Chains A and B, each alone.
Chain A
Amino acid sequence: MARKLLLEHINVPGINTLEVYRQKGGYRAVEKALKTLTPDEVVEEVKKSGLRGRGGAGFPTGMKWSFLAKPEGVARYLVCNADESEPGTFKDRYLMTHIPHALIEGMIVASFALGAKTSYIYVRGEMMPQIRILEKAIAEAKAAGFLGKNILGTGYDLELYVQPGGGAYICGEETALLESLEGKRGNPRIKPPFPAIAGLYGCPTVVNNVESIAAVVPIINDGGDEYAKIGIGRSTGTKLISASGNLVKPGVYEIELGLPVEEFIYSDEYCGGIANGKRLKATVAGGSSVPILPANLTLKLANGDPRLMSYESLSEGGFATGTMLGSGGFIAYDEDQCIVRNTWNFSRFYHHESCGQCSPCREGTGWLEKILHRLEHGQGKMSDIDLLWDVQRKIEGNTICPLGDAASWPVASAIRHFREEFEWHVKEPIKSQTSNYGLANYAVPIEKEEVKQENL
């Protein structure tokens, strides 16, 4: 069994209550940090641990914390980004539903490290049950003296608030989240200034993902060096993966980074293989925004080595043959799934969720969606495929926030790896409405794929 840090006690009955959580060693990190460490020492531990942001970008958390400006007499804030709304990602919701105290404990330690007296957990509006769970947990923690004035007699004060969002994907972007938290329209801000300099209400702010904050707890308990031993290379620690799609056992799994992708999909400890005895066609490894990969490139790198679940290994080969770990939303597609339909579905999502602030994303996402809709419904033309490529290229990199990139990458990668399937939709407009393109050669051994790559 692999080591579990976050979900170790997930199956203990009543772990969502403070009492049981304390029995299982909860809030040790708060006591250790507040009583024996200075804020700088906590930051140092997190730096040593090599923890990288779990929300998608993978920026080292300790570095982010050390960038926080600390002017005299200005409040600092910690904001937890619980606006999880990436299609395919549901790990934060799972964590908040079952072990809310892990997040709250992490928030207290992280706030202490950053010197924040007020911290917010911005939860997506659709997650009302989780909001209630968190509020109840905060009340419990406050009654037990872990929140409020003079925590554990150390003289450190912290107020923790839960703020429901309006349910917009864009509010998961950190500056849009801050705008929304301030009560404004959730439009991303133009950076610079970065939130570490001027964030919430113009004050220095750190925005972290739920999982990143929860991961601070084991780092403080066991020490940063101990945490850094888990994992591989610069991908340290454990990561929650939300596995979905045509898998025997979809769900949230905690893996040690560096686990081979093949083992994750096929071993009984994790997903248990592809459902109904079918074969794997493609995967999206890190939530809908990351490039989609055919089965052969998912399991093996372009040079034939096994691909691992880690920040580096998944992005090996750049966008030509690689993808990204992203937020860990692992979606598997079996041989009967249509990539064109899936790409259209993702595009529809980004069209709906674009905030409409900057023009390439506002107009371009709608255009992509309409072309893909046409292709999927058998009314496409050959030139549409090149048009899609051209439009996505004009969106990517030209927008204020990463939503434009996130909208273009799935389209670009689908055309890059599954172009024949798009062409089949144009050539066989009637057949494509009733049957699927099938597995084709997307799962053939990697050597052949390599030869094909050179030809391109």
Chain B
Amino acid sequence: MSDLVKVTIDGITVEVAPGTSILNAARQIGGDIVPPAMCYYSKLEGSGGKCRTCIVKVSKGSEKDPRPMPKLVASCRTTVMDGMEVQNITSPEVLEARSGVVEILLINHPLDCPVCDQAGECDLQNLGYEHGLQKTRYEFERRTFERVDIGDKIQLHMNRCILCYRCVFTADQITNKRVHGILNRGDHSEISTYIQTAVDNDFSGNVIDVCPVGALTDKTFRFKNRVWFTKPVDAHRNCNHEKCNGKVTLWYKGEDVLRVTARKDQFGEVEEFICNTCRFDKKQTSDWVIEQPTPISDTSVVASNHYETFKPLPVIKEDLALQQANKIELEKSIKF
């Protein structure tokens, strides 16, 4: 196609279709220059623009109008123009603003990662590691909510929520009817169901997968294990549900399937949404056809327990005593 537009992000030029957002253009390049996204979800229409972690600097608007944009823009909701030049990690201004957003996201977050089921696969945790401060400057009492069971399979920890609206969009677009939404305003706004109605339909479990933090968690997996002790395996089954094709990730601990989630791509987004039967009711290996170990990015803490990406540190190779101590791991690394 000749009508592709050229966009340069941190000095790397890529050609994308017109109408692509800066974030998606950066994802086509991949690597470190992809801005983090807490609220944007490519499968959900209308999402994005809220969390402000993906802000970037547009240093040149386009070929026709080379003026820079006056403010930092949300890359997930700004479309590229031909000849646009964008700065993400090369701009100190962006990095500072992003760390400001992370700090602000964390001021009312309980930081209860040690007891949170999401820890290890939490976008906010990753963001905090990369951009956060070592200590907080917030010295006031944090806003708290009671935790609520919405339906028998999902638990809502409103304290952890960053109000990305993903679950609201999911319920609007994936399920037949939405019974939950945002109540109240400002920093006391909360995700809630319509007068404590249970969120109950065939696809409701997907709100767990889209939640970037531990606000919506799987009750059947609650306190079962830390995710980095489990091994993800791709599997499928013939699902009777018309909208579900039964392609999932099983999370094994030893012989047991501790939980079932949809498959996620490298940006943490669900590839295909799955039904509640697959997610909550099929927890036997015999229910599934195993395909392969799930590829996990080596930056994820889940990968640290994963056979695929084990690379012995150079220091281990040089030191005999260390080689002896890490014998099992070294053997594994040779195997794979």
Query: CB within 8 Å of B: which residues of A?
Result: 168, 170, 185, 190, 351-360, 362-367, 370, 387, 391, 393-395, 397-400
Contacts and interface: CB of A to CB of B under 8 A. Distances in A.
B186 A394 contact: no
Contact of B103 (A168, A394, A397, A400): A394
A383 to B, nearest CB: 9
A207 B73 CA distance: 24
B51 interface: yes
A357 B163 contact: yes
Given A353-B185, A394-B100, 10 more contacts: A168-B185, A170-B185, A185-B181, A352-B185, A352-B186, A355-B186, A356-B188, A360-B104, A395-B104, A398-B101
Nearest to B140: A370
B279 interface: no
A353 B189 CA distance: 11
Nearest to A191: B77
A245 B109 CA distance: 39
B94 to A, nearest CB: 11
Contact of B104 (A351, A367, A397): A367
Given A355-B185, A359-B52, A394 B97 contact: yes
A351 B189 CA distance: 12
Nearest to B55: A398
Nearest to A356: B189
A388 to B, nearest CB: 11
A190 B52 CA distance: 12
A338 to B, nearest CB: 22
A366 B142 CA distance: 11
Given A352-B186, A397-B71, A357 B105 contact: no
7 contacts: A190-B49, A355-B185, A356-B187, A359-B50, A362-B163, A362-B186, A398-B101
Contact of A358 (B52, B72, B143): B52
B186 A367 contact: no
B74 interface: yes
B104 A399 contact: no
B138 interface: yes
Given A359-B162, A359-B163, A354 B52 contact: no
B309 interface: no
Interface string B91-131: 00000010011011101100000000000000000000000
B184 interface: yes
Nearest to B77: A190
B182 interface: yes
Interface string B278-316: 000000000000000000000000000000000000000
Contacts of B135: none
Interface string B6-46: 00000000000000000000000000000000000000000
B207 to A, nearest CB: 18
Contacts of B51: 358-359
Interface in B144-162: 162
A394 B182 contact: no
A400 B49 contact: yes
B187 A365 contact: yes
Given A359-B101, A359-B105, A367-B104, A398 B52 contact: yes
A127 B69 CA distance: 39
Interface in B163-189: 163, 165, 181-182, 184-189
B137 interface: yes
A205 to B, nearest CB: 19
Interface in B200-228: none
Q: Which of B52, B107, B162 has the most CB of A within 10 A?
A: B52
Contacts of A363: 104-105, 107-108, 187
Contact of B138 (A190, A367, A400): A367
A78 B128 CA distance: 45
A394 B181 CA distance: 28
Contact of A394 (B101, B162, B184, B189): B101
B77 A353 contact: no
B187 A351 contact: yes
Contact of A354 (B162, B182, B186): B186
Nearest to A355: B185
A375 to B, nearest CB: 13
B186 A400 contact: no
A360 B143 CA distance: 16
A213 B12 CA distance: 49
Nearest to B189: A356
Q: Which of B48, B162, B188 has the most CB of A within 10 A?
A: B188
B186 A366 contact: yes
B72 A357 contact: no
A362 B187 CA distance: 5
A353 B188 CA distance: 11
Q: Which of A357, A363, A400 has the most CB of B within 10 A?
A: A363
A360 B163 contact: no
Contacts of B162: 359
A71 B282 CA distance: 53
Given A363-B108, A367-B104, A356 B52 contact: no
Given A168-B185, A185-B182, A398-B55, A367 B97 contact: no
A166 B107 CA distance: 29
A273 to B, nearest CB: 39
Contacts of B101: 359-360, 394, 398
Given A354-B186, A398-B55, A359 B104 contact: yes
B109 to A, nearest CB: 9
Contact of B189 (A362, A395, A397): A362
B186 A398 contact: no
Contacts of B52: 358-360, 398-399
